[in-house]
């Protein structure tokens, strides 16, 4: 359930959202910022009248990823809007915080007072009859007692099941839409790769043809140079143009032009 608590004496607002199908960090951060805007009392005075804490409880694997595409496998994520200096030191100016808790990733480095509540949520899903929870903590014991289905009316249970089915249906529709979009993206990427491969192949063929043309031109020039040298060598022996023409099958005019060069 989504919970909202306001402690007017200490000017504190705490909001807890249970999220099990739409894990969109942008939506969480929007909610966080919207709550902060709500407590700015005057456009001439941008100070915050209260401290804001938003806690998002996620009960399945993350669908969000890091900016570089890497998966997120942290059970505890903290968004703190306080600035840092160039040395990386946190300069505390405000108390507003947003915390993401993922019960699929309960690790020992999460503080015990938080880990106990995350364990209670996880055990309520996977081990309802014999939950392994910290009953020595009064708050945990009280929550476990209040969660007993024997205290819930049949109407409330029926309504809860309907709500759960609606959420699962919505999640299924979103999954199908996401998979369809992913399939389109993959197909587009495949076409792009195929086009790139064809372009690379065409480039390779063009480069090969150009290389062969250069080799043919180079060979022709070598043959021509060799032929010209033979004509010059024959001329140096004292042969006449007529004699050289008979040997090389070239006209006297061409032979004369070669000798002049």
Q: HEC string of the chain?
A: CCEEEEECCCCEEEEEEEECCCCCHHHHHHHHHHHHHHCEEECCEEEECCEEEEEEEECCCCCCECCCCCECCCCEEEEECCCECCCCCECCCCCCEEEEEECCCCCCCCCHHHHHHHHHHHHHHHCCCCCCCCCCCHHHHHHHHHCCHHHCCHHHHHHHHHHHHHHHHHHHHHHHHHHHHHHHHHHHHHHHHHHHHHHHHHHHHHHHHHHHHHHHHHHHHHHHHHHHHHHHHHHHCCCCHHHHHHHHCCCHHHHHHHHHC
Check residue 149 and give its pLDDT: 64
Residue 195 has pLDDT above 70, yes or no: yes
Q: How confident is the model at residue 22 (pLDDT cuts 50, 70, 90)?
A: low
Mean pLDDT of 14-28: 71
Candidate from 11-20, 102-111, 125-134, 178-187 with smallest mean pLDDT: 11-20
Residue 172 has pLDDT above 80, yes or no: no
Task: Return all residues near 95 (Cβ < 8 A) that are at least 6 apart.
Answer: 51
Cα–Cα distance for residue pair 26/70, rounded to 1 Å: 17
The dihedrals phi and psi of 107, each to the nearest 5 degrees, come to -120, 160
Mean pLDDT (the chain) is: 83
Mean pLDDT of 56-71: 80
Higher pLDDT, 48 or 219: 219
Neighbouring-strand partners of residue 55: 16, 99
pTM over 0.75: no
Cα–Cα distance for residue pair 127/119, rounded to 1 Å: 11
Mean pLDDT of 11-30: 73
Mean pLDDT of 90-94: 89
Residue 160 has pLDDT above 90, yes or no: no
Mean pLDDT of 78-97: 91
Number of C-beta neighbours around residue 102 at 10 A: 23
Structure tokens at 197: 């491969």
| Digit-coded pLDDT (tens) for 219-252 | 888 888 888 888 888 888 888 888 878 887 778 8
């Amino acid at each position: 359930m989504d919970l909202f608590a306001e402690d007017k004496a200490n000017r504190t607002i705490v909001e807890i959202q249970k999220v099990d199908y739409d894990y969109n960090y942008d939506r969480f951060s929007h909610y966080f910022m919207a709550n902060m805007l709500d407590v700015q009392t005057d456009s001439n005075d941008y100070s915050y009248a209260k401290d804001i804490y938003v806690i998002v409880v996620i009960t399945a694997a993350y669908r969000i990823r890091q900016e570089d595409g890497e998966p997120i496998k942290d059970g505890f994520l903290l968004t703190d809007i306080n600035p840092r200096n160039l040395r990386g030191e946190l300069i505390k100016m405000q108390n507003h915080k947003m915390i993401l808790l993922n019960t699929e990733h309960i690790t020992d480095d999460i503080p015990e007072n938080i880990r106990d509540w995350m364990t209670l949520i996880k055990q309520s899903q996977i081990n309802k009859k014999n939950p392994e929870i910290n009953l020595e903590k009064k708050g945990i014991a009280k929550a476990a007692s209040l969660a007993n289905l024997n205290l819930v009316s049949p109407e409330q249970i029926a309504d809860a099941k309907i709500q759960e089915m609606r959420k699962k249906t919505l999640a299924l529709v979103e999954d199908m839409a996401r998979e369809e979009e992913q399939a389109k993206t993959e197909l587009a990427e495949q076409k792009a790769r195929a086009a790139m491969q064809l372009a690379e192949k065409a480039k390779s063929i063009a480069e090969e043809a150009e290389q062969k043309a250069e080799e043919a031109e180079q060979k022709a020039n070598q043959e021509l140079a060799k032929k010209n040298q033979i004509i010059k060598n024959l001329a140096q022996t004292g042969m006449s143009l007529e004699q050289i023409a008979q040997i090389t099958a070239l006209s006297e005019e061409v032979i004369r032009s070669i000798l002049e060069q």
